[in-house]
Amino acid sequence: MRRLRTLLVSAVGLLAVARPQERSAYAADFYAGKTINFIVGTDATGGFAIYGRLIARYLGRFIPGNPNVVFRTMPGAGSKTAATYLYKIAPKDGTVIGNILPNAILDQLLDSSGQTELDPRQFQYLAGAEHGTRVCFTLRGSKVATYEDALRTKLIVGATTPGSPTYDYAAWHRATGARFEIAAGYKGPGELFLAMERGEIDGICGLDWSALKIQKNEWTSGDKLNILVQDGIEPDPELMAMHVPQAWPYIHEDPDRRAAELIVGFQQAFGKAYLAPPGVPEDRVGALRKAFALSLADHELLDEAAKQLIEIAPRAGESVQQTVGALYATPPAILERARDMMR
């Protein structure tokens, strides 16, 4: 009997050691010859699409079986269209992965109607690639050149749709004192930039500083912008060197500050995160998480990113999963104030 127990213990130990390799083999068997649809829930001109196109070119190299990875955009309703597709419609077999705006996650929690279409905690988060600082800005020559000007002088701020960063950041700044009038309905950053150049709008909020440097390098590298404020929990060193203030000194009420910190803190921590639908088998989630980690550390990808001014700050999928879980522990009073700000 003792010898039998010893043999059983040894067998269990061998299985535990072999399991990761077996899982990789199962994933390779599945992915060989397959195509993965990589869906980004924004238009093609946004920073999320810029990052997604880059990562999609490398990701398949690191997935067992080396599947083909096809990049697609699915804009609509501040990424809620893509989020709903991934949650309800997309195959749950690991052949569809996505990248959605953090607002699409946060808004599910802030929706007080009780009719939310998805539970963000059920997504399987694969990785994060960046956690940038967002900015509000106007063009040089504008009547509003500083954030203090924005507290005294009305200006029209362009946005896409409610639930997008361009809308929600302008909304919470307005709720804490900035005299922003929000003009929504633009299809993406490209249309917003044109609207600024034509004088239809005075400014834009909620764009990533890192993405803006890629999208409009001729603006950010020259002397063409007034960066009014930077939105991040911690200040961005580059923006601090440019004397761009944070909003926190201008928010005097504690409930406002805590609600703004929730909005900004979650969005910054979530950043550009990648996910799979609920229900994807564990071995394929593990293979995808490992592939993202290897891709975001790959020298070729990092060299290409540097040439395109793309900043990469990798984060494990398990860490993103914990961030989303922690969001749901927010006290109700802070959630209610955040809802008020976004209305």
| pLDDT tens, position by position, 321-332 | 999 999 999 999
- Tens of pLDDT, residue by residue over 126-179, are 999 998 899 999 999 999 999 999 999 999 999 998 888 999 999 999 999 999
pLDDT for 303 equals 98
Q: What is the DSSP string of 230-267?
A: EESSS--HHHHHTTPPBSGGG--SHHHHHHHHHHHHHH
Q: Provide φ and ψ at 75, rounded to 5°.
A: -70, 160
3-state helix, strand, coil in the chain (%, to 5): 50, 15, 30
The pLDDT confidence band at residue 27, using thresholds 50, 70 and 90, is: confident
The pLDDT confidence band at residue 19, using thresholds 50, 70 and 90, is: low
Sequence-distant (6+) residues with CB within 8 A of 1 are none
* Separation between Cα atoms, residue 30 and residue 93, nearest integer Å: 9
- Tens of pLDDT, residue by residue over 209-223, are 999 999 999 999 988
Prediction pTM value: 0.85
Q: What average pLDDT does range 40-52 have in this prediction? A: 94
Evaluate if residue 256 carries a pLDDT over 50. yes
Tell whether domain 134-267 is in CATH 3.40.190.10.
Answer: yes
Domain boundaries, the chain: 2-131+271-342, 134-267
Domains 2-131+271-342 and 134-267 share a fold: yes
What does the DSSP 8-state code read for residue 223?
A: T
Q: In the CATH hierarchy, which fold is given to the domain comprising 2-131+271-342? A: D-Maltodextrin-Binding Protein; domain 2 (3.40.190)
